[in-house]
Structure 1
């Protein structure tokens, strides 16, 4: 089994995912905006509409089509706005418009059929035993976090107990509800969705109406809250609900490798999961308790000092979160997993040990193009983590092995 069979790319940031719209919130724009009053505005709009119509007629003549059809299409499109305004969706660059149209249509289909896509992908690639295996690996991450809190020095017992209660109460949403992970249940859920219509705009409206209808049925609440597949972040933490949502998109490279080693799991998906889990304890999480109530700061002054006042140790960074505590947790989980295995000292063909491969996977995951969203700062994480320097032989007082590292859980606070 390999997730590479999926057509979904893990680099979902390259796909345009428009903001969600409600079924009753389709706004007419451009030539379709006939409600604006004022003679000058009407005159400008008429001039702009004539220019667009002229260009459209020329394109239709070149294609041998009747230009009256274009005018009829524009009148029909006035009811649904820019989604039916062909001119607004057709810039001069033909390559660009093709890509934008494909991305737009993909995003619309994914919005409507998100749960169907998630369920079919899960059934094809992650049968029940594989789902249980992955859940067990994520549970090791949670256990490592609980132990880190329990062993934190000079933190009072009450604060430790509150932090552990919140971590234990954290909900993870990854798989579709069990009662809906079968073809018959999915068929019933989407039974009233239209399969086709005369125009894309009409089909789009009917699909939105169908989606709205099933959203009123409480039995589908969990299904409709599943994370999006074409939008970042792939993992996200909800402070109020104390919930981590993992997109099924995250179950592909470079986040997850179906045939990868333990190091590749804990340096990839495991690390990202830990980075969301620790948000329950960051400066925002400290103001919300395990039941989702905003209660004010609920940990001791010593813990708050460790979370908020890090300038005295970190140089060039504002906070430890999330990279440093997440790395400490995910690496500890790796050590636990290796301790239960006989291949803890194995090397891959390229010469990396499992522990080295953990850091390689983690830093590769954080690579991003300039200006693009990043999953974190690799240097910030590893330069404050002594096991990295030991595994790669970094000399003391080098950039990656400062004389005084700034760990989070293990530092004297």
Structure 2
């Protein structure tokens, strides 16, 4: 059929159609309706023509035939345009410096929340977060910017999905430690361990004079302290190995390979061929009758594809492991962090009412310090008032709101109050000045503000209680309803404060536990006597000092200067280490799931559980042999041992994708919003914490990430926990002799078990309640034995800094060390006595080490504590730590051990076998 006229009249001479058909105007190329004269044009022509034209337009639009589609010619957000993806990646992934925080950047409450002990000092980390640089959100050639703004969200979803799945070249994995890859024969594993142990030993040293020197004398020569660390010990090396494993897991793609950002090539989308378009047009012209069917089929396919894509996107976005990887991406995306600059921080501060030091026009008329601290608490930061929800220490089945005194900007109050610490206080003040100047304030104003804040914090430190004053938790504890608390401290509106934090009304009849009543009374007096501008500056400084972890390198360099003063660290660690630590600290269960699925040896869980039961039996035997405990107290103590719950490796729920995803369901993570991701995580932690109010305590729950190198005992749950990360050499390997495993993880088990009966653990009964269940006679006998350890360790001096150990502060850990090794050796010798197979017995030593199987037990125990620390870090540790330095955890423990002295034939009177020994358990 022809359409011969300019006005597209559909009638051809001598060929008038009897019906209605579609035709193409040869001049315009447009599809038009060709009605016959038997149709009523007014009623049918216009509406009948619009439908097929619209359908055809949709089809042609899909093939970019018609319509003016706008394509962006540059990156929309924060990235400059680059000629290819490789160039862009190279520009973004430049080497950067970051920092691992020491003890000052932990945004968690280190007060009485879980009353938990750890085998070693926890690795404190700031909240940051997963793996190498991410692909930026770039234009996808198949997706045009819609004219309809309502469609922009869908476009962004598609962009994010396609960016995340863009094809990349891969590189080979970083070599894994054989212990995590489960590779190697028994012989090769043992031979490797022998080489390591011999390197550390000083065979010229007399084990009966200084066993630490004998076991670890060559440590510092073999392992010099890196410039980016305050110290290096066995645990740090294990963490380094584990961090590499976690980094690779966070970098892994679906096929198991690693993303190679530096060498990833851009994926070029092929343009639609003109010939293809022409064929489509011809087909439409020829197949007019099937036009509607074609359009309908295409629309159905499109809808199915969109539904499938949306389902995949929803699944991917709600996946906990994907969220963890996005956190890592946002942390590693330094180029974007740098481009965004200070605006995210400024916006946050503005939402909190503004930081006076940044705003000369700040007015104090409407300043409300309680309101400000409550809103900052919503980001899981406790400033001036520490608040949390957790088990009531006198009723461990009940979650209750609890309050305590503030933490400070330096490790302890002594840093502010003792003149000998002026160096550290000056360094802290300079840190304040540097940060404020970087935010755009004149140096003179920054200095004056810093001095005012320091003066305020010194006064704040003065009203806090010392560690020694807080040893008796029973004296600190006070359960009270909010209404009565308000009567005692009317200056603080407790219900308003809690309502802001919990984002719901709080009843004044709600019970809370207060651990620092006198501090709160002094706090309101101090605030009343201080200029509001200074109080506001201080509160926001304490918040900002954590937020600079999410800013560019200038702030991290300022932080590094302060770390050098405080810890002696010469440079910041690589950024990836910081990011790995942060994602593990904040999404530990998601990271743990990845780790456990790929690397965890289930044999270690079974062996550790069996060993734990053996050590429990050892403790029962030791308990029954004691002559200083009365029978009723012994019976209750045995009941507590029997009631101890064990958590080994990981919680089962992390292997269920559904349950794991539910844990992080309300957490939104974007790969390009590091600053906001951190705030969201802090809010998520706070919500999880606060939502426990009114719920029964779940004593089976895990509160520790599986992929960490440590072990824990919870006093108010009477629970021992051994995460998967510690079940590695030198603590455990399935191919190690039992002597080494008992001297490694066995001692750790005994250590944590003994914590239930140390100076603080003994105050809690088998259900985890603070309760006086010991007789007066037993308490007095315990104190006599514990005071022996206090005196013993108090005499040890660290020569490098000429400072003595605080025997009082470390007594709990020292009791646990001494009890743990005694139980572990007893369990090992009992196991040994039950073996009759000569091959098993001959396998209890290591070829190449000239030690017996029982000596190997003690040697492995000692080498766990090999290490070295910079003088500044040593001073800080001695001021704050509850653990003795590693050297004295070896010397102090073994010099009290009759078993050690016998196995090494040490004469009585030698340093390692003194005539007078201390023993509690």
Instruction: Report TM bin, short chain.
Output: 0.7 to 0.9
Alignment partner of 1:363 is 2:862? yes
Alignment partner of 1:347 is 2:666? no
Aligned to 1:249: 725
- Counting matched residue pairs gives 369
Aligned to 2:548: 82
Work out the CA distance in 1 between the residues paired with 2:755 and 2:591.
29
Aligned to 1:11: 236
Contact kept, 8 Å, 1:177 with 1:222, in 2: the verdict is no
Aligned to 1:69: none
Aligned to 1:140: 614
Deviation at 1:299, TM superposition (A): 3.9
Contact kept, 8 Å, 1:176 with 1:226, in 2: the verdict is no
Deviation at 1:114, TM superposition (A): 0.6
Superimposed CA distance per residue, residues 362-403 of structure 1 (whole angstroms, 9 cap, x where no aligned partner): 111123323266466111111121221221121232112223
Contact kept, 8 Å, 2:742 with 2:828, in 1: the verdict is yes
Aligned to 1:238: 714
Structure 1 residues 299 and 259: CA distance shift in structure 2, 3 A: farther
Aligned to 2:745: 269
Deviation at 1:290, TM superposition (A): 1.2
The runs of 5 or more residues in structure 2 that have no matched partner are 1-176, 183-233, 244-343, 363-432, 443-543, 562-568, 794-806, 878-882
Q: 1:117-136, aligned counterparts within 5 Å?
A: 117-126=591-600, 128-136=602-610
Contact kept, 8 Å, 1:144 with 1:329, in 2: the verdict is yes
Aligned to 2:822: 328
Aligned to 2:355: 36
Work out the CA distance in 1 between the residues paired with 2:605 and 2:618.
20
SS at match of 2:902: helix
Work out the CA distance in 2 between the residues paired with 1:293 and 1:96.
45
Aligned to 2:909: 397
Structure 1 residues 129 and 385: CA distance shift in structure 2, 3 A: closer
Superimposed CA distance per residue, residues 241-297 of structure 1 (whole angstroms, 9 cap, x where no aligned partner): 212222322122333334222111111111112112112112222222112222235
Contact kept, 8 Å, 1:91 with 1:97, in 2: the verdict is no
Work out the CA distance in 1 between the residues paired with 2:900 and 2:357.
68
Aligned to 1:21: none
* Bigger shift: residues 388-397 or 355-364: 388-397
Structure (1 or 2) with the larger CA radius of gyration: 2
Q: 1:281-300, aligned counterparts within 5 Å?
A: 281-296=757-772, 298-299=774-775
The runs of 5 or more residues in structure 1 that have no matched partner are 18-27, 53-77
Structure 1 residues 127 and 36: CA distance shift in structure 2, 3 A: closer
Work out the CA distance in 1 between the residues paired with 2:702 and 2:573.
29
Contact kept, 8 Å, 2:633 with 2:778, in 1: the verdict is no
SS at match of 1:245: strand
Work out the CA distance in 2 between the residues paired with 1:387 and 1:12.
30
Select the residue among 271, 278, 300 that pairs with 2:754. 278
Work out the CA distance in 2 between the residues paired with 1:39 and 1:141.
59
Select the residue among 142, 152, 159 that pairs with 2:626. 152
TM-score normalised to structure 2 length: 0.35
Work out the CA distance in 2 between the residues paired with 1:162 and 1:363.
33
Q: 1:174-193, aligned counterparts within 5 Å?
A: 174-182=648-656, 185-186=659-660
Contact kept, 8 Å, 2:720 with 2:753, in 1: the verdict is yes
SS at match of 1:256: coil
Work out the CA distance in 2 between the residues paired with 1:151 and 1:290.
21
Structure 1 residues 89 and 152: CA distance shift in structure 2, 3 A: same
Aligned to 1:23: none
Contact kept, 8 Å, 1:155 with 1:300, in 2: the verdict is no
Aligned to 1:386: 898
Work out the CA distance in 1 between the residues paired with 2:702 and 2:745.
21
Contact kept, 8 Å, 1:227 with 1:246, in 2: the verdict is no
Contact kept, 8 Å, 1:283 with 1:308, in 2: the verdict is no
SS at match of 1:99: coil
TM-score normalised to structure 1 length: 0.73
Higher relative strand content: 2
Select the residue among 621, 631, 637 that pairs with 1:163. 637
Work out the CA distance in 2 between the residues paired with 1:281 and 1:210.
35
Aligned to 2:702: 225
Work out the CA distance in 1 between the residues paired with 2:239 and 2:772.
39
Structure 1 residues 185 and 309: CA distance shift in structure 2, 3 A: closer
